[in-house]
Amino acid sequence: MAKLKAGVLISGRGSNLLALLEACAAADFPAEIALVVSNRAEADGLAHAARFGVPTQIVPHGDFADRESFDRVVSAALEAAGVELVCLAGFMRIFSPWFPAHWANRIINIHPSLLPSFKGLHVHQQAIDAGVRVSGATVHLVTNDLDGGPIVAQAAVPVLPDDTARTLATRILQAEHALYPLALRWFAERRVRLQSTPGKPDRVVIDGIAPDGAVLWQA
């Protein structure tokens, strides 16, 4: 079966991009990264893509009068590269309603908390301030509801008594690097389905994976 072509959108460091690039480098991994797009020319992640020989494109958001014109250019670049699934990896732009509608059910994000807890920014500080014992990471479908789309997979990570936002972020990031490639694999293996029940939010079902298989536990 042909490999699934993924496109990755970044804005900065790109450590999740690197985890995806490393996973895709394995001959038997069912996905490949066809394009990396950054809205910032100075994003460190661009160097990771170059090292793996993956094409990159910089689309500076400041060049556009409004969000939708930026989104349409990014989308056209992804489509020109044959991208089937868009993976957000530290992409710090909010889309216009057009983009998630255009890529409906073909766009995922990784967020460093156990959603629906702690949406938005300063997520690790939010978790520490709330006194939770467990936080983690979530891969979810992207909809117009910020950090609110159907959940694909989660990783649970302990919050330790002495944690600062920085130490917690480091521990969760390690889990992200395992979780994101796993979720990409499921998409590439065509296991991911959306289950709709009238009156309820859509749910993601992963065919052929035991119910607890969509959770990673990290000590």
- The nearest distance, CB 155 to ligand GRF, in angstroms, is 11
Name the minimum Å distance from CB 142 to ligand GRF: 11
Other beta carbons within 10 angstroms of residue 183's beta carbon come to: 24
User: Could you tell me how many residues of this chain bind ligand GRF (CB under 6 A)?
Assistant: 13
Is 152 one of the binding residues for ligand GRF (CB under 6 A)? no
Sheet of strand 151-158: strand arrangement: 56-58, 31-38, 4-10, 85-88, 107-111, 134-141, 151-158, 215-217
Is the Cβ of residue 1 or residue 121 nearer to ligand GRF in the bound state? 121
CA 76, 92, 74: angle at the middle one, nearest 5? 5
CB atoms within 10 A of CB 100: 20
| Tokens at 215, concatenated | 């959770």
**Local structure of residue 12 (DSSP, 8 states):** S
39: left (phi over 0), alpha (psi -120 to 50) or beta: alpha
The piece of 7-15, 55-63, 186-194, 208-216 that touches ligand GRF (CB under 6 A) is 7-15
Question: Is residue 181 involved in binding ligand GRF (CB under 6 A)?
Answer: no
7 binds ligand GRF, rule: CB under 6 A: no
Which residue has its beta carbon closest to ligand GRF?
90
Query: In which residue are the tokens 């500080």 written?
Result: 125
114 makes contact with ligand GRF (CB under 6 A): no
Query: How many CA atoms lie within 13 Å of 182's alpha carbon, on the beta-carbon side?
Result: 20
Span from 78-86, 110-118, 158-166, 203-211 in contact with ligand GRF (CB under 6 A): 110-118
- Segment near ligand GRF (CB under 6 A), from 14-22, 64-72, 157-165, 203-211? 14-22
- Cα 208 to the center of its chain, rounded Å: 22
Catalytic residues: 111
* Residue 149 binds ligand GRF (CB under 6 A): no
Phi, psi for 113 (deg, rounded to 5): -155, 170
Is 124 a binding residue for ligand GRF by CB under 6 A? The answer is: no
Our CB check for ligand GRF shows the closer of 84 and 176 to be: 176
- Contact map string, positions 56 to 75, toward ligand GRF, x by CB under 6 A: --------------------
Figure out which of the listed residues 4, 6, 14, 20 binds ligand GRF, where binding follows CB under 6 A. Answer: 14
Q: Nearest Cα to 36, choosing from 111, 84, 99, 89?
A: 89
Residues that bind ligand GRF (CB under 6 A): 12-16, 45, 89-90, 110-112, 173, 176
